[in-house]
Amino acid sequence: MINNGNAVAIIGGGPGGVGCAIALQNKSRQMGRKIRVRLYEAKSQDGIPRYNQCVGVLSPPIEDILRALGVEFPHHLLQRTIEGYVLHSGKQSIVLNDESEPSLAVRRISFDHYMLDQARKHGIEVVESRVTGLEIYDDSVMLYSESDNIRASVVVGAFGLDDGSALMFSRETPYKQPKFLNSIVTKWHPKTNFIHKFDNNIHAFLPPTKKIEFGAVTPKENHFTINVAGEKVDATVMDEFLAYPPLVKLFPQSFLQERKTLSYFKGKFPISIAKGMFGDRYITVGDAAGLVRPFKGKGINSALLSGMYAASVILQNGVSNTSFKEYLKLNNEIIADLPYGKAIRIFANFIANANLLDYVLRLSRENASLQRALFNSVSAHKPYRTIVRETLSWENILAGVKSFFE
Ligand SMILES: Cc1cc2nc3c(=O)[nH]c(=O)nc-3n(C[C@H](O)[C@H](O)[C@H](O)COP(=O)(O)OP(=O)(O)OC[C@H]3O[C@@H](n4cnc5c(N)ncnc54)[C@H](O)[C@@H]3O)c2cc1C
């Protein structure tokens, strides 16, 4: 149990770590306990340009999640309002409009800075330093960083898919990094005002190649973020994606030359939950735990929520492996959805690689429930099991079979 004077150490200042830190501080105050929360973030805010793999699209209910933390939504960081999605196959495309609230695109690095400032305002000790070592004892946890050390009652692993931190954790605990898809991200700044005339949609692609699971083009304020993901995605695959005709068709001629000069960045998407996600005196959150919606989408929301759930179990249940079992229940919406997400991923890959996507898009033009299913899959607005239940009706199956043979 965490009592007055005890410390919680958090590794990582992304949404998972900050969500956990602020929730710990708020909740412990409500419970009348005085605890220390120290958060370590390896990237410092020293003005040197940093990159973050994330596209920075904040989806509903982000404003509600931030409100629950007592944090105002950073409207001043807004770069673009995203109204919907366009899904492209080789020959067709379909606009999938967002019937609910729009998503909001920000620069992810600015969002993280804002959240870290909010953490400081909530009384959290933010240390801009990399955690380099971890020891877990029966009665405490010892954490070493590049600048100092701390003895805490529990450690929260909010280090995303950082390989070094995962190795550090797995040497000391049964933790194993989740399985992941590789991703390459680039930014294209058009020299003309083309970007201002571009629609406010995320353009999604499922090219018919096993190398790519999905790709997307997201318009921001003065540039496009282009990303591609797959198990074996590398720079060559990104080169190929930037020459993919349905993508090239979106842009003016100048893109063909300029794409050769773009800088690439590497990232990862978790596609399974981490083994040994928690244990005595440690718990992982966000991407480190693999607690994101399978396939894609809303990683920032999921990380914030899992961080908040971790705070709740630490304060209410305790810090042992047994007390953390409650954490699985709190994250059940994501965990129970994993098999459905996996099935949809395999199915989507099959459709794309068998060149059936043109046909599916054609079918969905006349079928509102299929169109809704495509929207919810691309946006991750609904759990995959709901999408499967809403779409798998005999009427839809028969309509699909009939239209295939027409
Ligand atoms: C290409 C791509 C695009 C994406 N786009 C979106 C999007 O538009 N919207 C969305 O909601 N999600 C998106 N995601 C997912 C989203 O980025 C993640 O799900 C989310 O950032 C997870 O948050 P986190 O706090 O768990 O981890 P992270 O955001 O990865 O934060 C981990 C932090 O820990 C720090 N750290 C690591 N090791 C140490 C250490 N040893 N010591 C100190 N600090 C450490 C890192 O510096 C980092 O800041 C995208 C992902 C990818 C790969």
Q: Which residues of the chain have pLDDT under 70?
A: 47-50, 98-99, 294-297, 392-406
Per-residue pLDDT at 398: 59
CA atoms within 13 A of residue 144's CA, in its CB half-sphere: 7
Burial classification of residue 373, based on how many CB atoms lie within 10 Å of its CB (0-12 exposed, 13-18 middle, 19 or more buried): buried
Question: 227 and 122 in one domain?
Answer: no
Per-residue pLDDT at 51: 74
User: Is 23 domain-assigned?
Assistant: yes
Cα dihedral: 281, 283, 288, 289 (round 10): 140
Question: 41 and 118 in one domain?
Answer: yes
Q: How far apart are CA 275 and CA 372, in angstroms?
A: 34
Question: 115 and 33 in one domain?
Answer: yes
Per-residue pLDDT at 96: 86
Would you call the peptide bond into 61 cis, given omega within 30 degrees of 0 as the criterion? yes
Q: How far apart are CA 120 and CA 51, in angstroms?
A: 22
The number of the ligand 1 atom at minimal distance from the alpha carbon of 12 is: 34
Question: 217 and 228 in one domain?
Answer: yes
Question: 34 and 161 in one domain?
Answer: yes
Assign residue 215 the CATH number of its domain. Answer: 3.30.70
Question: 202 and 298 in one domain?
Answer: no
Question: 263 and 153 in one domain?
Answer: no
User: Is 95 domain-assigned?
Assistant: no
User: Is 61 domain-assigned?
Assistant: no
336-364, pLDDT tens digit by residue? 988 888 888 888 888 888 888 888 888 88
Q: Which amino acid is at 24?
A: L
**pTM for the whole thing?**
0.93
Those residues with Cβ within 8 angstroms of residue 173's Cβ, 6 or more apart along the chain or in another chain: 136, 276, 279, 282
Q: How far apart are CA 229 and CA 299, in angstroms?
A: 15
Per-residue pLDDT at 283: 98
User: Is 399 domain-assigned?
Assistant: yes
Question: 49 and 193 in one domain?
Answer: no
Place of tokens 């959240």: 115
Domain end marker among 248, 268, 288: 268
Question: 27 and 137 in one domain?
Answer: yes
The number of the ligand 1 atom at minimal distance from the alpha carbon of 132 is: 41
User: Is 92 domain-assigned?
Assistant: no
Residue 192 lies in domain: 181-268
> CA angle at residue 379 from 377 to 381, to 5 degrees?
85
Question: 279 and 155 in one domain?
Answer: yes
Question: 277 and 231 in one domain?
Answer: no
* The two structure tokens encoding residue 169: 């954790």
Closest CA to 204 of 352, 105, 58: 352
* The two structure tokens encoding residue 265: 């960045």
Task: Say whether 179 sits in a helix, a strand or coil.
Answer: coil
Q: How far apart are CA 326 and CA 335, in angstroms?
A: 13
* Ligand 1 shell residues, CB under 6 Å: 11-17, 40-43, 53-57, 130-131, 158-160, 162, 165, 183, 185, 227, 267-269, 286-288, 292, 298-301, 303
Per-residue pLDDT at 164: 97
Quick count: other Cβ atoms within 10 Å of Cβ 253? 8
Domain count, the chain: 3
User: Is 204 domain-assigned?
Assistant: yes
Going by alpha carbons, the residue nearest to atom 2 of ligand 1 is 54
Question: 195 and 262 in one domain?
Answer: yes
User: Is 312 domain-assigned?
Assistant: yes
